[in-house]
Amino acid sequence: MTATSNVNAAYPPSARQGVWKNRLVWTLQILLALVFLAHGLMLLFPPEAVAQQINASLPRWFSLFIGVSEVLAAVGLTLPAFTGILPWLVSWAAAGLMIVMVSATVFHLSRREFGAAATTFVLLAMATTVARARHKVGGTVTSRS
């Protein structure tokens, strides 16, 4: 028997598929967390040139709200899953980001910023994938097929 057949016998196709799906979802979670942490911190502590652009299109209180929300979402995407404490918060954080990304996509489309709208749409798709995959079923966090 070869090493490959030993691995295949130990992990049936459904188990191997679940492992790869879990790795993909973890990758999406980490990428989303990094993007939203960086963007949230930029909204909270913007450089002067960026602050002028942000303040021209959004009230400061709203950009602060979005910044805090994005930083908390980044924490919510990773910390509960890493610690195993309240892991259902991962799907809720992703769902909250879905709301933000739908709003951001509409905002950018209304301003004819098609590149930014495409970016927010991709982030929406990523957040939707994470929310769906990490949805709580029967008391445990699972990855749905």
Residue range 70-108, pLDDT digits in tens: 999 999 999 998 898 999 999 999 999 999 999 999 999
Domain count, the chain: 1
Is residue 72 a part of any domain in this protein? yes
Q: Please list, residue by residue across 97-134, b when 16 or more beta carbons sit within 10 angstroms of its beta carbon and e when fewer do.
A: bbebbeebbeebeeeeeeeebebbbebbebbbbbbebb
Is residue 70 a part of any domain in this protein? yes
User: What is the extent of the structural domain holding 115?
Assistant: 13-141
Is residue 2 a part of any domain in this protein? no
Is residue 7 a part of any domain in this protein? no
Is residue 122 a part of any domain in this protein? yes
Is residue 90 a part of any domain in this protein? yes
Residue range 29-74, pLDDT digits in tens: 999 999 999 999 999 999 998 899 888 888 999 999 999 999 999 9
